[in-house]
């Protein structure tokens, strides 16, 4: 991953978090829980 791609992804994530907090903040917690479930699922199959 180049620095340009990493910076782009970081800006995209920051923009999503800012938008989510501006509109109510419900989706961020949902996505965090789904990501934790995905990590556990992938760790199981590893």
Please check the confidence at residue 33 and state whether its pLDDT lies above 80: yes
Q: What is the largest CA-CA distance in the chain?
A: 38
* Mean pLDDT taken over the chain: 88
Q: Can you give the pLDDT at residue 37? A: 94
Element (H, E) at 28: helix 26-45
Average pLDDT of span 28-38: 89
Q: Can you give the pLDDT at residue 5? A: 94
Please check the confidence at residue 34 and state whether its pLDDT lies above 90: yes
Q: Over the stretch 8-30, which tens digit does the pLDDT of each residue have?
A: 999 998 998 888 888 887 788 88
Q: Can you give the pLDDT at residue 38? A: 92
- Write phi, then psi, for 25 (nearest 5 degrees): 85, 20
What tokens does 21 get?
């907090």
Where are the domains positioned within the chain? 3-45
Name the nearest CA neighbour of 31 among 11, 16, 10, 12: 16
């Amino acid at each position: 991953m180049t620095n340009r791609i990493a910076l782009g992804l970081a800006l995209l994530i920051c923009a999503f978090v800012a938008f989510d907090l501006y509109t109510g903040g419900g989706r961020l917690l949902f996505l965090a829980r789904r990501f934790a479930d995905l990590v556990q699922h992938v760790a199981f199959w590893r």
